[in-house]
Amino acid sequence: MKHFRKGDGERSGLFTRRALLLGGAQAVLLTALAGRLYQLQVVETDRFATLAEENRINLRLLPPSRGLIFDRAGQPLAVNRNNFRAMATSDRGRGVDVLVERLDQIFGLGDAEKTRMLRELRRSRNAQPVVVRENLGWEEVARLEFNAPDLPGVFIDLGQSRDYPEGDLMSHIVGYTGRVADEDLAGRDDPVLQLATMRFGKKGVERSLEDDLRGRAGAVQVEVNAVGRVVRELDRTEGQPGSNALLTIDLDLQRFAAEKMKEHQSGSVVVMDVITGDIIAMVSTPGFDPSTFARGITQSEWRDLLDNPERPLHNKAIAGVYPPGSTYKMVTALAALESKAIDPWTRLPCVGHLELGSIKFHCWLKGGHGSTNVTEAIAQSCDCFFYEAARRAGIDRVSDMAQRLGFGKVSELGLPGESAANQPTRAWKQEKIGKPWQHGDTFNLGIGQGYMTATPLQLAVMTARLANGGYEVQPNLLLAKATPREELAPPPPRTKPSAPSLRLNPQHLALIREGMVQVVAAGTASHLRVDAKGRPLDPALRFAGKTGTAQVKRITEREREMGITQDQLPWHLRHHALFVCFGPIDNPRYACAVIVEHGQGGGKTAGPIGRDVLVETMKRDPSRRTDSFRKMASR
């Protein structure tokens, strides 16, 4: 028994020492745990509390409903309609591959769509939903609901999408919207643009009025769980819908003009109020169907639009550049008159051509016009008169006058993609071509050829400034805009231009206008003094104009000798047909510019369209002055 105890005592002594050591170590480690708790829960508690709140609370933006676009009478041009769309959220990018595969089986997404979805789902922060597919039909909704158990994180959302009831008729003016692109975000920090369902104006008024149409986002604060499901709503602020806009376009006139353009492959018509600058109609044919963009354009549809030689996506009224040809002769005449290079009585000879050194500059009339003054020269469109007038005035005065009348610069219309075209100057040629300005260049410019190009809109603006007595009127597309809480109504009518005067001699302007009157009365467009059925025009609807035929390709001496006619050339090499006009003669109110691409003779092809559209515009004038708007809008 003693032996037993002794041995045990030895062992227990060592045990006690070592056990105390172990216990001490444990006490130290437990103290370390308490220290860690202190660090997390006292020292850093604020930081972690913030992180916990950020985890829990999710600010979701409510996309505002986009402003509507109407024509000047209140007829809808761009509206919103309900759109059922499939959305998907992912739990920090987990299982997205499987999810996208299943969605592909249901919808047949295609590879490009699948790649986009995978990218967006992986990139999506705070479980922000990603759009799977828009504009679901009832069958697709049903199929999605049926497969819901296999599609975690997929839900159906009711949103709005854009609809364009007038289709291609208004496609170039109204434009369309699309997904927000990175370049759209430049200078805009509106957080609503980060939403996957948000749309952004890409073309036309949708683009130029984007910041008005968009509205302000509402926000809802929701509590979410770890997979981003909303548990409850904490707070909600309603947004503000975008402003509605009233355009200056008269939809019925627009339709009429488009109808007139139909028989030609490609071209443009611009009708403008010479007092206010309102664009009453602006047609560019062919158009495109903007709803293909609203629902998401396919690769092949996009290819087709791009490859079409008639360029349907191109708004030819503002982006099509053409040599103005004889429609430019008023500029030359006015520059010569204002610079006193000629006076109203100056008569210049024409024998069918003018020689400059060894080069022959031809007049369109082989035998020549004989001696003409400025009015007769405009009426007969005598080239020789304007070669000489341009020579006498000089390049600087001609191009200066042209710029005052609106050439060579982008207008204040505001539509994206407008071209400045080209008003050549000495400096321009030296810089771009690297050669000094030649007399021959001045001759060519005098008849609107050579380096000179213009857009149909610029031609309309020039005509308007000549017609309104020399006021620097600017084209304008927006009649009025108002938030949904305000009344949307057109401004009161105006009879005097508010634009600054160009300070041109009224006598000179009157001479130019008289020349244009003579064009229709007895000149190159005398066939237009009667209507399409050969009946004389109502005196109140009489108008003045100027024809133009713009060379696409130089006429060679050989062709001139062989007498090759335009009909024998392929379409894309034929002359462009141009016509500018204003009316009524006594108290001009409307200007119109027409271009038919490769339409050959200006008077023959473009003239009748200009006449019909301008006469229709004048006929419909009273309807624009009365208070018919409210009736339309409240319908």
Residues that bind other proteins (CB under 8 A): 1, 4, 7-8, 10-12, 14-16, 18-19, 21-23, 26, 29-30, 32-34, 36-38, 40-42, 44-45, 47-49, 51-52, 55-56, 92-93, 223-227, 231
State residue 282 phi and psi, 5-degree precision. -150, 105
Distances (CA, A) of 478 to 126, 473, 491: 40, 15, 11
| Separation between Cα atoms, residue 574 and residue 566, nearest integer Å | 6
Our CB check for other proteins shows the closer of 220 and 365 to be 220
Q: Hey, what long-range contacts does 338-341 have (CB within 8 A, 24 or more apart)?
A: 338/397, 338/401, 338/504, 338/505, 338/508, 339/393, 339/394, 339/397, 341/389, 341/392, 341/393, 341/394, 341/397
Q: Which is nearer to other proteins, 16 or 115 (CB)?
A: 16
Q: Which is nearer to other proteins, 15 or 146 (CB)?
A: 15
> Peptide bond preceding 63: is omega within 30 degrees of 0, i.e. cis?
no
Q: How far apart are CA 201 and CA 213, in angstroms?
A: 9
The distance from CA 169 to its chain's CA centroid, rounded to whole angstroms, is 14
Spacing of C-alpha 554 from chain mean position: 33
Cβ-in-10-Å burial (0-12, 13-18, 19+) of 615 comes to buried
Q: Return the HEC string of 56-93.
A: HEEEEEECCCCCCEECCCCCEEEEEEEEEEEEECCECC
3-state class (DSSP) for residue 150:
helix
- Which CB, 153 or 424, lies closer to other proteins? 153
Describe the crossing of helices 506-521 and 329-338 by its angle, rounded to 10 degrees: 150
Annotated catalytic residue within 266, 326, 381, 399: 326
Q: In this complex, which beta carbon is closest to other proteins, that of residue 89 or of residue 617?
A: 89
Question: How far, in Å, CA of 102 to CA of 123, rounded?
Answer: 20
208 is catalytic: no
Smallest gap from Cβ 630 to other proteins, in A, equals 54
Q: How far is the CB of 4 from other proteins (least distance, A)?
A: 8
CB 99 to other proteins: min, Å = 17
Please, what is the minimum distance in Å from the beta carbon of residue 155 to other proteins?
18
Contact 94, 123 (CB under 8 A): no
**Least Cβ distance, residue 59 to other proteins (angstroms):** 16
Q: Smallest distance, Å, CB 137 to other proteins?
A: 35
Cβ-based nearer residue to other proteins, 181 or 227: 227
Q: Which is nearer to other proteins, 33 or 158 (CB)?
A: 33
Q: Which residues are the active-site residues?
A: 326
